[in-house]
Amino acid sequence: MLSLILGKSLALGIGAYCYKYLSQAYKLIMLQVAIALLAECYGRYLGLKGQHNAWVFNLQNLADLLLTGWAAKLLTGKPINKVIPFLLLLFTGLWAVNIYVDGFYQLAAWFFVSSCILLVLLYIAVLFNKSLFSNKRILEEPATWLAISVILYFGCSVPYFGLYHYLISNFSVTARNLWAINMWLDVLRCPLIAVCFLTAAKQQKQLRTA
């Protein structure tokens, strides 16, 4: 948990350092990291006090989808970026339905799994877009690092959160053990985001100098 908070703080610190060079897409990602950090801290605090904390993560997951999804819209080209706002609207509806069915104090796992799949597909599109339509080497593109972080975390979260309610109700110890995979992927995601911010700032500096 501490490594997750440290990881997110590192990404956020580097984002703040490079802030003036970041484009709107990366500023959205920075906001998403800040929200995630707050949610992790507050959720953990509520958990320690023995209170419901799933509602915090429900809100965080929605913010994750909207901010990361909108960043994908800004990073990819036509026609995908035209469809993204409608998809985000549709998935917000799905979130509302999931909350309505399971309640606000239960983690909206089905919404989260479907949003993970959506984000993975969107960021694969971003990667394809950058690899086929940009003349730069793909590792010099900040979007590449962001896409890898998103695909890695959200892609690998699908099996665990797909079985989340089943595991929590029947095998709570196993659920807690498996949650570690998810947490470490989240930790791994943070340096990738930090590299993304640094690459974006470097690219912007080069552009301004040119």
Partner 1 sequence: MNDIQNAVILSTLLILLLIAGVVITIFIANRRHVQQQISIAQMQVDYEKELRTVEQEVQEQVLLNVSRELHDNIGQLLTVMHMQMEQEKLQTPRVVNPMSGTLQDTIQQVRMLGRSLNNEWLEQNGLNGMIQNEVNRLEHLGMLTIHWQFDGVEPVLEKDQRVMAFRIFQEIINNALKHAGAANIYIDMKGKDKFALSIKDDGKGFDPDITFAMGKGSGLRNMMKRAALAHIAYKMTAAPGKGCTFTLELH
Give residues in contact with partner 1 (CB under 8 A): 124, 127-128, 130-132, 134-138, 148, 151-152, 155-156, 158-160, 163, 167, 171, 174, 177-178, 181
Shortest distance, CB of residue 119 to partner 1, whole angstroms? 13
Find the shortest distance in angstroms from Cβ 51 to partner 1: 28
Closer CB to partner 1, residue 63 or residue 121?
121
By C-beta, is 55 or 161 nearer to partner 1? 161
Q: How far is the CB of 163 from partner 1 (least distance, A)?
A: 6
Nearest CB to partner 1, comparing residues 167 and 201: 167
Q: How far is CA 1 from CA 4, 37, 44, 179, 187, in A?
A: 5, 11, 9, 11, 9
> What's the min distance (Å) between Cβ of 75 and partner 1?
14
Q: Which is nearer to partner 1, 52 or 136 (CB)?
A: 136
Task: Describe the chain by its helix, strand, coil percentages, rounded to 5.
Answer: 85, 0, 15
Least Cβ distance, residue 206 to partner 1 (angstroms)? 17
Tokens representing 202?
A: 């470097």
Task: Measure CA 3 to chain center.
Answer: 17
Identity at 3, one-letter amino acid code = S
Q: In terms of CB distance, is 92 or 182 closer to partner 1?
A: 182
Q: Which residues of 98-137 are buried (b: 16+ CB within 10 A; e: fewer)?
A: bbeebeeebbbbbbbbbbbebbbbbbebbbebbeeeeeee
